[in-house]
Structure 1
Amino acid sequence: MTAYVDINKYKQLVIDDFNSRPNYDEGNQFHLSLANRLIEIAQPQPGQQILDIATGTGLVAIPAAQIVGSSGRVVGVDIAKGMLEQAQRKIETLKLKNVELIEADADHLNFNDSSFDIIFCSSALVYLTDIQNSLQQWHRFLKPGGLVAFSCFAETAHTAAVMFRKKAQTYGILIPNPNEPLGTPQKCQDLLKDIGFQDIKVITEQFGSYLSNVEGAWNGNARSAFGAQVKELPPERLEQLKAEYIAAVEATATDKGIWNDVTTFFVLGSK
C-alpha cells in the first residue's frame, strides 16, 4: 500500500490544486451554499472581530465583513495565493475596507489570545494536518464567550470519493478518509469538549445531489490532495483504474440518477 506521509508534499498538492482553479466561484454553488448556511447558523453581529480559516475566495469572509460593518473586522487566511487573489478582486469591487487577507498555513497561525469573536472554517477543516491542534489554537484566539463555527462531513459523505478510495485501494493505493476525524456528531462533540468548548451544537443537513458528470467526479478526486497519488501509476494502469472507477459509479445509477451523498455537520462551540 502507498499513502502520503510527507506533509510538505501533501501541502504542496493542496496549494497546487487550489491555485489551478482560476475561476473557482463559477458553477460552485455547493461551497457557496455551505458558506451561506454556516453564516446563517453562527449569526455574526455588527462590530465583531472575525477570523476565517481557509477563506478561499472569501465565500464566508466577504459576507461576514458586510455584516460586521465598519466597526468590525474580518481576517481571512489561506495557503493558496490563487484563492486569495480571487478574494481580493471581489473585495476591491465591493470597496470593502474591513477585510484583511493573509497567505498562511492554517496549521501554524500566530494571533494574539482572545482576539476574535467568531472563528469560521467552511468545509476546509479536512485539509488541516492536525485538527485537534488547530482547534486548540482557535480556542486560544477566541475571546471569552467567543464562537467557533465550522462545517465538516460524515464519514460516509461524498459517495463518489468513497468509491474512488475503494477502487484505488485495489491498485495498492491507500487513501485515508479525510472525513474520519470528525465524521460523526459524537466525534465532533467529543473533540470540542476535550479542548474546552462549551454549548456545543451539531446540526446535520444533507447537501447531496445527483451526479451529472462522472468524468468530472474522477477528475476532481484524482486532482485533489487526497487522491493525487493515483497519478503515480503507470499510464496504462491509471487509465484502467479510471475506466473501472467510472463503470463502478455508473453502476449505482437509479432511475433518478447517480446519488452523491453529502451529509454535512455544522458545528458550533463557545469558549
Structure 2
Amino acid sequence: MKLKLDPYKQKLAEVYDNDRSQNYDQNQWLPQITHRLVESVEIKPGNQVLDIATGTGHVAIEVAQLLGNSGLVVGVDISTKMIEKAREKATALKLKNIEFQLADGENINFPDNSFDLILCANAFPLMINKEATLRLWSKFLKPGGFIGLHSIAETGFTNIIVLKKILENHGINIDFFQLSNTVNTIEKYDNLLRQANLEVIFVKTETHGSYRSLEEAKKKWNLVYYPSPVNNNPHPFTKLSTEKIEQMKAEFELELEKFTTPEGIWNNGTTFLVLGRKSVSQ
C-alpha cells in the first residue's frame, strides 16, 4: 500500500525511510521520553489505544505489554520502513494485541468514540494544522478519553540551538526550526487543548538531559534539509554556492566544539508533557 501524501509529508516520509529508520533505535534518549509519556497516563486492561506517528513502536509496544492479554493498541506512521521495524519488534516479542498501519496521523479515519487513549510522542510539532488535528483525534476518543503528547522544546538540543545561531548569522531562515514556535510555551499548549474542546489535565515541561558525542552532534547539520510545512518556497540553500554552504557547516562544527566536555556535548532535553481529556458529556 502506498500512501497519498502532500509534498511536505512525502519528503518527511522519505527522511524517515532513507535516513532515520537506519539508526532510530540506537537513540538512547527516545526510550526515556516515550516511557515518560506512557507512564503519565493510566493504562487499563481492555483499553483501546491509538499511537500517532508510532515510529518503530516505542510507545505502542510498551502499551501493548501493559495491556496484557486484553485491549488493543494501533500504531500509525507515514514511514514504511519505520512501520516494518515496529512490526518486526512486536513479532519478536510475540505481542498479539498490537497492529501497525501505514497512515498519516492528520488524515486518518477511525470510528467516532473508539479509543480510550490517543498518544503521540515527538511528532506533534511536525503536524501542519495542530488545532484541527487535535479536533480530529478527539472525535476518535470515547467520552472521558485522553490525548497525551510529548514533544521536544526548541531549547532541548544544543546542536539545534547552535545550528539556528549559525544560520541566523548568515541571514538564513530555515522553516524547520520555526515549527515548534507554534507550541513553544505551556500557555500555547494549554490554549490548543481548549480550542479543541479538551479539558486540560496538565501541561508541563520536564528535562531529560543526556550527553551526545561531538561526532553525533555534527551529523545534525543535515537538519537544514528537513522538509517544512510552512511554505513550499525553494530551499534557501538553492541560492547559495557550495563554498558558502561548506563555510556555514564548518562554522557549525567549530561552534559545537566549544560545548564539548570529556563526557560529550550536554543536551538539557527539555520537553513538553501534555494531557487533555474529552468531556464525558461529548
What residue number does 2:267 align with? Answer: 260
Q: Is the CA contact (8 Å cut-off) linking 1:252 and 1:258 kept in structure 2?
A: yes
Q: Summarize the alignment of residues 68-217 of structure 1 with structure 2, pairs less than 5 Å apart.
A: 68-176=67-175, 177-213=178-214, 215-217=215-217
Alpha-carbon distance between aligned partners in 2 of 1:72 and 1:225, rounded to the nearest angstrom: 37
Tell me by how many angstroms 1:168 deviates.
Answer: 2.0
- SS of match in other structure, 1:34: helix
Q: Is the CA contact (8 Å cut-off) linking 2:194 and 2:200 kept in structure 1?
A: no
Letter aligned with residue 51 of structure 1: L
Tell me by how many angstroms 1:70 deviates.
Answer: 3.0
Two-structure CA RMSD over aligned residues (Å): 2.3
- SS of match in other structure, 1:24: helix
Q: Mean alpha-carbon deviation: is it higher for 157-166 or for 246-255?
A: 246-255
Tell me by how many angstroms 1:260 deviates.
Answer: 2.4
Q: Is the CA contact (8 Å cut-off) linking 1:222 and 1:231 kept in structure 2?
A: no
Alpha-carbon distance between aligned partners in 2 of 1:253 and 1:241, rounded to the nearest angstrom: 19
Letter aligned with residue 182 of structure 1: V
1:137-161 deviations in Å (ceiling 9; x for gaps): 1111110000001102334332321
TM-score, length of structure 1 as denominator length: 0.88
What residue number does 1:235 align with? Answer: 242
Alpha-carbon distance between aligned partners in 2 of 1:218 and 1:9, rounded to the nearest angstrom: 28
TM-score, length of structure 2 as denominator length: 0.85
Change over 3 Å in CA distance of 1:142–1:263 after alignment to 2? same
Letter aligned with residue 247 of structure 1: L
Identity between Structure 1 and Structure 2 (%): 40
Alpha-carbon distance between aligned partners in 1 of 2:219 and 2:7, rounded to the nearest angstrom: 20
1:107-155 deviations in Å (ceiling 9; x for gaps): 2111111110000001111221111111111111110000001102334
**Residue segments in structure 1 that go unaligned for 5+ positions in a row:** 1-6
1:175-197 deviations in Å (ceiling 9; x for gaps): 23222122111111111012111
What residue number does 1:9 align with? Answer: 7
Q: Summarize the alignment of residues 42-61 of structure 1 with structure 2, pairs less than 5 Å apart.
A: 42-61=41-60
